[in-house]
Amino acid sequence: MAANHDLTIPPFEQIWARMNVDEAAVRADTKDLRFEGGAGAVLKIGMCLGVIGFFLGVLAYFVSNTLGILIILPSVAIMGVSVFVGLKRAGAASDTFTESVGAPLMRQLLNGMASHDTVSGDASPMQAAYTPRGEVPRPLLAASGLVYDTRMVQEDVVTGRLGATDFVLADLKWRSAITPEERARENSEPSERQWREWRSVARKRLNDTGLRVTRSMVQAEAETMYWRSRRRSALEQKLADALDAKMREAHRLGPSLVFFSADFHKHFTSETYFLPRKRVRGLEAMEKREADGAGLEPMRLVGTQMPDGVEGWTSDQAEARYLVTPQLIEALNAFVAEAGSDAVAVSFTDNRMNIAVGVDTDRFSLDPTNGDIRAATEQIYRDMVRFLRLVQDFDLNTRIWTKD
């Protein structure tokens, strides 16, 4: 695709030389992430013993309930403590790597990138900032229509501008996503069957008082009992908040859903989506009934083909054909193949192009299986460059498409 800007990217060797990283020191500081050393060995043994003890306890339970419980409870405790301590130490090691290597790498990379206008020949440095614990605004995620949970844990956010193109790139943790059905169950009132159970318990309690029990009394008592069960004490709320914080920290070590959004100077009023046929790795899907309700119809591509497992929907076939050119589809297919993922979604909404790619590894962070700090850093460099090239690969001809 002919681009308006050529992107100059400094080579990794040049960036690495400027960083002056003490690999031995970083390797020692991040050993907990790989469960190396004495403490790591103890934690691994604790987890293994906990798992083995749990299964032995389950088997023993069929022989003797008491014996099984006596084995299961300490095994679960050992496993829980080992996992908790292990995740805490791994999270701290990951933060250490980000501070000592990841953030300097990003700064060197972004500061060294520049754009060259292919028409005027002018060159300008990329204006971009990296925030390790940043977040993409939830309205932007929601407007993209690509993810089903805008509250996902996020990190490694890059916001910037190339030429006249504003963009944002972020690492969302898809294992922290909650489906709309799960969210609805969390917030829903009890079913009729559950209300009957509450009323049964309420009637028994009222009968024990010796008073004359009426239907309205039973219903009122049932509602009181239900809302009391939903209300948390101050201690329960603190424990819940602490657990949620720990879960969010654990999710930061999990696999990535890389989200990219850019304003490509195209003024359009339609909505066009390319979504997986079913929800996968935090990505939304769309059923025909839902599409009909939103005024969308299947996208009719001519001479082009989206990645396998992806379906197209649009509110305006004519405008979509101008947006989704064969060259763009070719560039997108090449990008998806290079990223090595079968979970991809694209949308054109609110005058922006949005892309999300779900993978099974934690991108832009230290690989816990790799003790080679330089190699791990170079992998992060390649991943970031791959996504930043989207600004160039999907740049459009502003002489044809403008917002003026």
Q: Which run of H or E residues covers position 161?
A: strand 154-162
Residue 203 CA to residue 122 CA, distance in Å, equals 81
**Residue 198 structure tokens:** 């509450």
pLDDT of amino acid 220: 80
The DSSP output letter for 399 is T
Residue 58 CA to residue 64 CA, distance in Å, equals 10
Q: Beta strands 123-125 and 127-131: pairing type? A: unpaired
Q: Which run of H or E residues covers position 382?
A: helix 373-388
pLDDT of amino acid 146: 92
pLDDT of amino acid 147: 92
pLDDT of amino acid 356: 92
Residue 135 CA to residue 244 CA, distance in Å, equals 18
Q: Beta strands 272-276 and 310-314: pairing type? A: antiparallel
Instruction: State the maximum Cα–Cα separation within the chain, in Å, rounded to a whole number.
Output: 92
- Number of C-beta neighbours around residue 35 at 10 A: 18
- Placement of tokens 């101008």 in the chain: 322
Residue 255 vs residues 73, 175, 246, 251, 367: alpha-carbon distances, Å = 31, 7, 17, 8, 11
Q: Would you call 222 exposed, middle or buried from its count of C-beta atoms within 10 A (0-12, 13-18, 19+)?
A: buried
Block means of pLDDT (10 residues each) for the chain, 404 residues, are 65 90 84 70 76 82 80 81 73 81 87 71 75 89 90 90 80 89 71 80 82 78 77 65 71 87 77 89 86 85 72 87 76 75 86 88 77 86 82 52 42
- Number of C-beta neighbours around residue 18 at 10 A: 14
Q: Whole-prediction pTM value?
A: 0.76
Residue 110 CA to residue 161 CA, distance in Å, equals 11
Residues 281-328 pLDDT 10s = 989 888 888 888 888 998 887 766 776 778 888 998 888 887 777 777
Residues 232-265 pLDDT 10s = 666 666 666 666 777 777 787 888 999 999 886 6
pLDDT of amino acid 5: 60
